[in-house]
Amino acid sequence: MKESEYRARGNWNELKGKIKQQYGDLTDNDLTYQEGKEDEWLGKLQQKTGKAKGDLKKWIDSL
């Protein structure tokens, strides 16, 4: 799910907080999604967390 979908559901800020609790080195910039750049955004998160793209998506969806 894209940041914009979470934002539309009104819980993106809550999710960002949960993500940052588990990965304290992630910044707001790391968690800023730009429309049409999902792969680039996930790639940045992959580098910072060491998780595979599919695992990241599942993890974020489970929060």
Tell me which residue of 12, 14, 54, 63 sits closest to 45, measured CA to CA: 54
pLDDT tens string, the chain, 63 residues long: the values are: 565 666 556 677 888 888 999 999 999 888 887 778 888 888 999 999 999 988 988 888 887
Distance CA 63, CA 11 (A): 10
pLDDT given at position 52: 93
| pLDDT value of residue 51 | 92
Task: Specify the DSSP element, H or E, that contains 56.
Answer: helix 53-62
Which residues, other chains included, contact 9 with Cβ-Cβ below 8 Å and sequence gap of 6+? none
The pTM assigned to this predicted structure is 0.70
